Amino acid sequence: MRKSLVLLALLALAGSPALAQKKPAPKAPARKAVAASSAAVLKGKSIYTQNCLTCHQADGLGVDGLNPPLAKTDYVLGDKTRLIGVLLNGLKGVDINGEEYHGVMPAQTYLNDQQMADVLTYIRNGFGNKASAVTVAEVKAVRTGAKK
């Protein structure tokens, strides 16, 4: 009987607010990075194979001194606006991760916004890279800004 009373007393205490575990304050909702969909990555890989592979190679490592690598570089993993701008405006003579590249990349404006988003999403998630997807809206915003 005494054991039952002790057990009941413990159960009553466990339910008391004084012993209840405090819940952490709710966090502000984090801005989620857009995850790369497998469909976008597959489409992007096809676009890469048709338009980028010759210069940047199948492994994304480019050609020393000529065409920059796409694997694990700040240019690819960093600012998406800058990366989109490379497709829209081309690029010539650039220093990437401390190495100079002298090749000329022409603007790829023949690609539509969806194709650009897909190929950049593929590049940002291929070759050992892990980064958020590039959206059509982001490409549109940079393209619109580039026309002004």
pLDDT greater than 50 at residue 7: no
Confidence of residue 2 (pLDDT cuts 50, 70, 90): low
Q: How do 91-96 and 99-105 pair as beta strands?
A: antiparallel
Domain boundaries along the sequence of the chain: 33-147
Superfamily of 33-147 according to CATH: Cytochrome c-like domain (1.10.760.10)
**Is pLDDT larger for residue 119 or for residue 17?**
119
Which tokens is 139 given? Answer: 């490409």
pLDDT digits (tens, 9 = 90+) for 57-88: 999 999 999 999 999 999 999 999 999 999 99
The CA-CA-CA angle for residues 19, 10, 24, to 5°, reads 20
